[in-house]
Amino acid sequence: IPMVDIKDVLSFNYYTYKKPFTGSDNGKRYRIVRLEKEVQAGEGTEPEKEVVFKAFLWKDFLAFEKTPEEEILTKEFDFTPSGLEQVVDWINTTML
């Protein structure tokens, strides 16, 4: 069974430039992006920015933009080198 390796998804530093990465493996397509989202820290405080990896996974027959949203699985991970390893594990272990 082919598997995605951490070396297949480029280095952690690539994602600091906010460029998405897409690939495919064994009938699955995936997209990994760096995402900044606002998180409300508490009542009356300014929202804080949290940076995460957001991974998308869908069947390998349509481009990301052409795939219906309900057919795309998504999950967020910590924006760290180990978070990127968790993204790869999720891609490899998630069945579509």
- The tens digit of pLDDT for each residue in 23-63 reads 999 899 999 999 998 887 778 788 888 999 999 999 988 89
How far, CA to CA in Å, does 7 sit from each of 3, 40, 73, 85, 94? 11, 35, 22, 10, 19
The whole-number pLDDT of residue 93 equals 94
Residue 73 carries which side chain, given as an amino acid letter? L
Per-residue pLDDT tens over the stretch 56-87: 999 988 899 999 999 999 999 999 999 999 99
pTM: 0.87
Q: Please, are residues 8 and 85 in contact by the beta-carbon 8 Å criterion?
A: no
The whole-number pLDDT of residue 1 equals 63
The whole-number pLDDT of residue 80 equals 96
